[in-house]
Structure 1
Amino acid sequence: VSGALDKLQEETVELKEAAATGETERISEELGDVLFSAVNVSRFFKCSAEEALGMTIRKFIDRFAYVEKSALEAGKRLEDMTLSEMDALWDEAKLK
């Protein structure tokens, strides 16, 4: 497991370096390497990468819905809120 995690970290560093160049093709390639490495890590933990991603997507949808609903109840539009305001609502959603 530790080797796979090290590889994931290495690929993440390479993605950050690619991002600094702004070269879309290189960024895409490195992002693919990060995703592949993450799937490899999931194998070592005997987890389904697809199921893990599905759980994360569901959490995101639920939390974003909470942020939207809370903003609406406060009479605000997301477009008019600061990142700090949205982050505060996001943190509330995480506690639910």
Structure 2
Amino acid sequence: MLRAARRNRHDRTRGGGDRDERGVGRAAARAFAARKDTVALLVRRQAGLGDAALDVERLGGRALAIPTDVASYDEVEAAADRVERDLRPG
């Protein structure tokens, strides 16, 4: 079952498949990082994952980068489980 979109300052946003939509996801990640939030990055293409994580960390946020094909229910569920396990407030 997919988790709630917002819990304890954890927000979920999604970029998309083309260049413009990826820019929206990256911009949202940067905005959350500027607030010093923790950002879970779910990206299909491994190449952009490291750069996005560095952007978040340079802006003062914490990044959890998870390679995920959001078209795959099982991969999204596994990513959600990892986010809850790794980012749950302690």
Q: TM-score, normalised by structure 1?
A: 0.27
The structure with the greater share of residues assigned to strand is 2
The structure with the greater share of residues assigned to helix is 1
Q: Which has the larger radius of gyration?
A: 1
